[in-house]
Amino acid sequence: MVKFIKMNVSRAMSKRWAQQCVFNRIVTFSTKPTQHAAAVSEPAAEQKTVSTPAAAAAQPATTTPAPTTARKPIVPSNYRFIYPEFLPDPKVEWRNPIREKLERLDMLDRRRQIDLPEFYVGSIMAVTSSDPHAAGKTSRFVGICINRDRCGLRSRFVLRNVIDHQGMEVVYELYDPTIQKVEVLRLEKRLDDNLFYLRDALPEYSTFDENMEAEHLEEGAPVPVNDIKVVLRPRPWLERWERQNLLGVANIDQYIKDKHRKSAERVQKPWEKFDMMKQYRSTIPEEEQKEVFAEVHTELHSMELQRKRNKRKRTFVKPKQLA
């Protein structure tokens, strides 16, 4: 009897303990219909609403929302030609995202202090820089831009001019703090990416007046392309120009022989224009370009507006009062 009572007590205790240890099951659900259910319910609702002609006439007409169009990017597509120095170096081993971002901030700070206008290879420019050895502690050089390379704070350009029958070239770093003023006297492009062949051309193609006045383009006008073809002097040349497929030279065939043509054909690589991997390694992807220019677009756009306002002020001439 005592054993039976103990068994009943143990069973009751085990049931009570099991009830205390059981967790209540929580069921969660969403009142938002799924896409399939919403698609099924919409035709059914339409059938219910237009079941009778009288009800259809009494029911107000519902307007269907217009399809949303994709938002156009605000960054102009020509920024990669106007500001190529903002794009990072395409070589992977030289990439550093933190350094690139800091350099872009420094470049914007420098552009707030000095006006760096738009220019291309082939534009005629004048650069005023500080020179401790000059008479007025400043020097001004006028010349044609024959090359533009590098990126970031290291970006540079080369100006060339013939002064006193002597070819002069000056290499400027675009964000050098010693530069005081950069002027574009004639904004234009050339047929080639660099104009190093002007070193072997006749001096008349590299001679520009130091007192040349600026030629202003109309606002919104496209940048003109100067399709002039220079005339080279006889050999020897500084480089083998016959191997570079130049478009801006007129008389290369006049000074080369058959052996030069054969050697130029041997070193040609016509398959490189189909090499997609080489093009990918030597350029920055378009998606990354949009990210970079979206970061600096606001500052650059405000600087462009300020430059246009200053240009209008310079072109306005205040009339003199009559005596």
**pLDDT tens digit string along 143-187?**
999 999 999 999 999 999 999 999 999 999 999 999 999 999 999
**pLDDT tens digit string along 258-286?**
999 999 999 999 999 899 999 889 999 99
157 within domain boundaries:
yes
Residue 182 and residue 120 share a domain = yes
Residue 272 and residue 143 share a domain = yes
Confidence of residue 251 (pLDDT cuts 50, 70, 90): very high
Kindly report the CATH number assigned to the domain that includes residue 197.
2.30.30.790
**pLDDT tens digit string along 39-69?**
545 544 444 444 444 444 445 545 555 555 5
317 within domain boundaries:
no
Whether the per-residue pLDDT at 9 is higher than 70: the answer is no
253 within domain boundaries:
no
Q: What is the pLDDT of residue 175?
A: 96
Alpha-carbon dihedral angle through residues 164, 168, 174, 178, given to the nearest 10 degrees? -60
Residue 186 and residue 87 share a domain = yes
Q: What is the pLDDT of residue 31?
A: 42
Could you give the strand order of the β-sheet that contains 138-149, starting from the edge strand earlier in sequence?
Answer: 166-173, 156-163, 138-149, 124-130, 179-186
Number of domains in the chain: 2
Residue 117 and residue 222 share a domain = yes
Confidence of residue 217 (pLDDT cuts 50, 70, 90): confident
Confidence of residue 195 (pLDDT cuts 50, 70, 90): very high
Residue 178 and residue 118 share a domain = yes
Q: What is the pLDDT of residue 28?
A: 38
Q: How far is CA 307 from the centre of its chain?
A: 19
Q: What is the DSSP letter of 132?
A: T
Q: What is the pLDDT of residue 69?
A: 56
Summary mean pLDDT of the chain: 82
Residue 100 and residue 29 share a domain = no
Q: What is the pLDDT of residue 76?
A: 87
Confidence of residue 102 (pLDDT cuts 50, 70, 90): very high
Q: 10 Å Cβ neighbour count for 141?
A: 19
320 within domain boundaries:
no
Residue 140 and residue 165 share a domain = yes
SS3 288: helix
Name the residue range of residue 15's domain: 1-49+60-72
Q: Greater confidence, 139 or 219?
A: 139
Helix 286-315, helix 97-113: angle, nearest 10: 10
What's the alpha-carbon Rg for the chain, to the nearest Å?
A: 36
322 within domain boundaries:
no
Q: How far is 230 from 248, CA to CA, in rounded Å?
A: 6
Confidence of residue 37 (pLDDT cuts 50, 70, 90): very low
Residue 304 and residue 180 share a domain = yes
Residue 301 and residue 170 share a domain = yes
Q: How far is 65 from 20, CA to CA, in rounded Å?
A: 56
245 within domain boundaries:
no
Residue 158 and residue 85 share a domain = yes
Q: What is the pLDDT of residue 228?
A: 95
> Max alpha carbon distance in the chain (Å)?
138
Residue 133 and residue 94 share a domain = yes
Q: What is the pLDDT of residue 7?
A: 57
Q: How far is 245 from 264, CA to CA, in rounded Å?
A: 10
**pLDDT tens digit string along 19-29?**
555 444 433 33
Residue 92 and residue 64 share a domain = no
**pLDDT tens digit string along 288-312?**
999 999 999 999 999 888 888 887 7
258 within domain boundaries:
no
Q: What is the pLDDT of residue 54?
A: 46
Rounded average pLDDT over 183-209: 96
* Sole residue written with tokens 């047929």: 191
321 within domain boundaries:
no
